[in-house]
Structure 1
């Protein structure tokens, strides 16, 4: 039986090697098929992933994507090389000009190109690696890479089928190593049971914290989380009503709603949505996200709103309809314009992201970068002919804190202090303008600092770091002297 199958495999493979036989009428396609073959080669993807790790070393999330890709590719080399060394099946007799066959790769079984193509396919789709490229394009490309193995006469059909199985195994192994940000996020490699597993973890932690407090005779440690803002992430990853029983507070990361990964401009952290937004995006704003958490059963007083001391910056790919003087009538808004990630900032060094003080610099140094106010979303944005930035300033932060108080939410988190203008010398708005704007609207200053409290009521004044830490001060249970060293680090 095996002999019959082997003969059939041999004959059919030679028959389908349309660009491998020297007398084939399709030989003119050989150069094109070889180019496809090379596009799926480890000689391309291994150096590429290694170089991209170096380029993105300052961004942990970006670097990790390439580290996992590099790990998977090297795993493929090890697995396929070992299998070929043991089996040692010779290549088809019509295989020629195969300059990529070195070492164990001179053997035929299994097909390394196929296993690598399948691994890349599953990895790219499961991790949304190429977010601006349709999955159908990736599937078509990698399918032709697999087909090239037979068309060029490099492999037998059974080699390719085995390569498919090896590729699936490799991808399953590597994807399990992929760190996911949210439980239940299948596109990030999260297991289906991670939603219920997360609840069990939180419950267990809460019990351990209570037990530790009793044993130590101290106040229980706070159990908190920074969590998702999008409905599909929340519903897929959290048993909201249950986990909120155990958390002391839940900080919703109400930022990064939009970014360069979408291929168009969008605001980083809008307070409200726009009337004409697609249904999918109508809740992609602070009001919408907080409503989802409340709707699913989390008490308002446990929910914290997230603020960002940075903006998402875009390089416009076409005329945004904005002149140096005023918006053109034909373009009522610059939301949704085709765009890519703007050039990395001098200090943050991540494409598409600018700290608050870098945004201030860009406005000051280039008069074409004008600040506009989006009335519907209640947030500012910078726009010019080539640049678009969605960010927060003192005005929008103040409005968000007013919204927080009006709706009875618990508090606020800020990402992050090092992205704010520490000295106040760049934005000319005093030290830590984003932090101070939130504080001025929320914090109740103790009576013994009443003279400073009066200053806080003036919109034009803020607390300096020196004033804030001039004495050991506790505000709403937070010992400010404890975080002085942290702030001084920046």
Structure 2
């Protein structure tokens, strides 16, 4: 009996530890400090107890150097974004605070040129170490979008591994973390990565499990479906979270290093015919820009919840794909509601993945306009055992 009780107690402790060891990685888009009205974000509004890792986005690659992209927003002599960000440690001493290099707007070419030159690659790693030390970051997130694509070279695939290895070696004596944001679906990842090799040098891998569909398709589609639908065929069967996670695991990524990306935004479309409004309906253009993000074709969760609160939107749950969409007139938006977030967090646990990531913290309902503050982050924390 004593043995059974002891065994049960140990099992409970291990279960709690496993759950609470899941990472919750929160990206912050620094440009959000310039947004208007309720969308204007201040770093001091971040609740660092809801994240295990915070990542400041972005800095750039300039040859062998790290380039500050917004000197007004980032640097101490102005808005001091870097300083405010790392000061969040005071509220959560265990948090890891990192900086991301690259992003979509940076393109692929600057990375390709630097990583392909052994001298520049080594110098870049040394300069990153100095940058992290100067601004007191805990590590670097590589956001190269994407190796061997967008003007890059086929050599990028092996040079990405060399870059990761060089950075990891330079970081080792300082204890800095190295992660990467990567294309999730097979259709893109298969062109860009030697998954097994790159995984050796990365502490964790942020799977960008969103943008599976968008206005570029010419028809409506889900931004971040959990599963395929029975109506999907061909490549569509691979454009979902379950298929892409399976691809990464099958190709050598350790499950415990994979962090499941979850969007705090939706993809929006303008319907060709408002009466034809299902998934796959023809769309003429991106949806109308929101008042805060001001980008046609996307809406932050904070914008979506305010719009739904104020207007008569039809919300449809796609039970097969595991995410909803909403329609009003000729406007159509695919997004993640709280039930979709919970389902994805449960998937993280079921698949023994390393945790979840959000892109990005400033489009959660951070002001609590529609209810409690940070509903998406709090839903993740509730399932992943952190609150």
TM norm. shorter chain > 0.5: yes
Cross-structure match for 1:295: 250
- Name the CA shift for 1:263/1:176 in 2 (closer, same or farther; >3 Å): farther
Cross-structure match for 1:264: 219
Cross-structure match for 2:78: none
Distance (whole Å) between structure 1 residues aligned to residue 144 and residue 194 of structure 2 = 17
In structure 1, runs of 5+ residues without a counterpart are 1-56, 59-171, 214-219, 323-332, 446-490
Cross-structure match for 1:249: 204
Distance (whole Å) between structure 2 residues aligned to residue 374 and residue 346 of structure 1 = 27
Q: 1:279 aligns with which of 231, 234, 250?
A: 234
**Pairs within 5 Å for 1:61-210:** 181-185=145-149, 188-210=150-172
Aligned pair 1:432/2:374, yes or no? yes
Q: 1:239 aligns with which of 180, 191, 194?
A: 194
Distance (whole Å) between structure 2 residues aligned to residue 320 and residue 202 of structure 1 = 50
Distance (whole Å) between structure 2 residues aligned to residue 334 and residue 437 of structure 1 = 26
**Displacement of 1:239:** 0.7
**Pairs within 5 Å for 1:402-417:** 402-417=346-361
**Conserved in 2, the CA contact under 8 Å of 1:320 and 1:334?**
no
Distance (whole Å) between structure 2 residues aligned to residue 237 and residue 311 of structure 1 = 26
Aligned pair 1:365/2:320, yes or no? no
**Displacement of 1:403:** 0.8
Return the index of the structure with the highest Cα Rg. Answer: 1
In structure 2, runs of 5+ residues without a counterpart are 1-33, 36-108, 115-142
Aligned pair 1:385/2:321, yes or no? no
Aligned pair 1:313/2:268, yes or no? yes
Cross-structure match for 2:338: 394
* TM-score for the superposition, normalised by structure 2: 0.62
Distance (whole Å) between structure 2 residues aligned to residue 304 and residue 392 of structure 1 = 17
Distance (whole Å) between structure 1 residues aligned to residue 292 and residue 183 of structure 2 = 27
Distance (whole Å) between structure 2 residues aligned to residue 176 and residue 403 of structure 1 = 38
Distance (whole Å) between structure 2 residues aligned to residue 339 and residue 441 of structure 1 = 39
**Conserved in 2, the CA contact under 8 Å of 1:269 and 1:285?**
yes
- CA shift digits 1:366-407 (9 cap, x unpaired): 21x111100100111102331110001111000000011011
**Displacement of 1:180:** 6.6
**Displacement of 1:278:** 2.8
- Name the CA shift for 1:441/1:339 in 2 (closer, same or farther; >3 Å): farther
**Displacement of 1:221:** 1.4
**Conserved in 2, the CA contact under 8 Å of 1:316 and 1:388?**
yes
Distance (whole Å) between structure 2 residues aligned to residue 349 and residue 319 of structure 1 = 23
Question: Secondary structure, in 3 states, of the residue corresponding to 1:422?
Answer: coil
Q: Which has the higher contact order (CA 8 A, sep 6+)?
A: 2
**Conserved in 2, the CA contact under 8 Å of 1:184 and 1:233?**
no
Q: How many residues align?
A: 252
**Displacement of 1:233:** 1.8
**Displacement of 1:209:** 1.2
- Name the CA shift for 1:321/1:262 in 2 (closer, same or farther; >3 Å): closer
**Displacement of 1:176:** 8.4
Aligned-residue CA RMSD in angstroms?
2.4
**Conserved in 1, the CA contact under 8 Å of 2:148 and 2:191?**
yes
**Displacement of 1:270:** 0.6
Distance (whole Å) between structure 2 residues aligned to residue 395 and residue 314 of structure 1 = 22
**Displacement of 1:337:** 2.9
Q: 2:283 aligns with which of 316, 321, 338?
A: 338
**Conserved in 1, the CA contact under 8 Å of 2:183 and 2:207?**
yes
**Displacement of 1:424:** 1.1
Cross-structure match for 1:12: none
Distance (whole Å) between structure 1 residues aligned to residue 216 and residue 304 of structure 2 = 20
Structure with more of its chain in strand, by fraction? 2
* TM-score for the superposition, normalised by structure 1: 0.49
**Displacement of 1:234:** 1.2
Structure with more of its chain in helix, by fraction? 1
**Displacement of 1:318:** 1.3
Runs of 4+ in 1 over 2 A off after TM superposition: 319-322, 333-339
